[in-house]
Amino acid sequence: MVVMLPLQQREIWKTSEKIAFRLAHDIVSGGLVEGDHLPREAELVDHYGVSRESIREALRLLEAQGMVSIRRGPGGGPIVGRAESANLARTMTLYFHLSGSTYDELLHAWFDLEPGVAGRAAANPDRDEVTRLMTPHLSHFDDGGDRAGYMEHSNGLHFSLAALDPNRVLRMLVSSVGDIIRTHVILAIDPFDIRELIDDDHRVIAEAVLAGDVAAARDAMRHHIEQLDPIYRAHWDGSLFDLVAWK
């Protein structure tokens, strides 16, 4: 007996969504980079053969994802953005919220993901780039008492490790998880209170990556997170079993 499976309904995309997909493809295939100008609205209408409203809606969809920005006035128009982890993080928080994911799960995911990034960074064959990105974390950073400056520097280690990870999917994913933790979980922590811990751990991680020691880099990052995890949990203003908020 032959079992007939039901036909799957084909997705129906709005014209603006199709144009947004094509625009994103054309940005990449055309080698456009952040700050490059896209054609003006009238040119896009002619090129894609759709209405002005469809072009505007497509640009709004891309703008919401940070892929383009719209400058007003003379010399304005659509400008190419870049694939930033912070934009993906905002979208991820929506899906985490809808799926019932909690901050406890978020922190566990961070614990599982970050050591792999450090290990892959240590294995990066471009040792000049490894040296450039890791050297600033070997010695004391003179922040002049500026907390924001210090946070930018200390967070920079994690962004630099991600930049050295050759796996772009994991690079973007881990950076986005880190962005959520930085903007949701650790807002009540004074970084200067745990500066010695952060600086010591970051130095050990940077040394392992510079040495190309994959296992040591993974272990150093795992130790770093084991140190930070209880601090983050203790300072979380709410229940760790709250749903990840969309914001």
- Looking at residue 43, which CATH number applies to its domain? 1.10.10.10
Residue 152 identity (one-letter amino acid): E
Instruction: Identify whether residues 50 and 111 lie together within a single domain.
Output: no
Question: Which one, of 130, 128, 136, 132, lies nearest residue 155 by Cα?
Answer: 136
Instruction: Identify whether residues 99 and 70 lie together within a single domain.
Output: no
Instruction: Identify whether residues 192 and 76 lie together within a single domain.
Output: no
pLDDT digits (tens, 9 = 90+) for 102-134: 999 999 999 999 999 999 999 999 999 999 999
- Of 59, 80, 101, the last residue of a domain is 80
CA angle 84/90/92 to nearest 5° reads 100
- Of 38, 60, 80, the last residue of a domain is 80
pTM for the structure as a whole: 0.83
Residue 167 lies in a domain: yes
Q: What is the pLDDT of residue 238?
A: 80
Residue 206 identity (one-letter amino acid): A
Residue 49 lies in a domain: yes
| 237 has pLDDT over 90 | no
Instruction: Identify whether residues 74 and 136 lie together within a single domain.
Output: no
Q: What is the pLDDT of residue 235?
A: 83
Q: Which CATH number characterizes residue 207's domain?
A: 1.20.120.530
Residue 54 lies in a domain: yes
Residue 157 lies in a domain: yes
Q: Which residue has the tokens 């032959």?
A: 2
Instruction: Measure Cα distances from 67 to 14, 35, 36, 123 in Å.
Output: 19, 11, 11, 31
Instruction: Identify whether residues 102 and 217 lie together within a single domain.
Output: yes
Residue 244 lies in a domain: no
Instruction: Identify whether residues 74 and 20 lie together within a single domain.
Output: yes
Instruction: Identify whether residues 52 and 93 lie together within a single domain.
Output: no
Residue 152: give the domain boundaries: 85-235
Instruction: Identify whether residues 109 and 180 lie together within a single domain.
Output: yes
Residue 127 lies in a domain: yes
Instruction: Identify whether residues 103 and 211 lie together within a single domain.
Output: yes
| 154 has pLDDT over 70 | yes
The total domain count for the chain is: 2
pLDDT digits (tens, 9 = 90+) for 31-83: 999 999 999 999 999 999 999 999 999 999 999 888 999 888 777 789 999 88
**What is d(CA 118, CA 51) in angstroms, rounded to the nearest whole number?**
48
Residue 106 lies in a domain: yes
Residue 245 lies in a domain: no
- Of 80, 95, 113, the last residue of a domain is 80
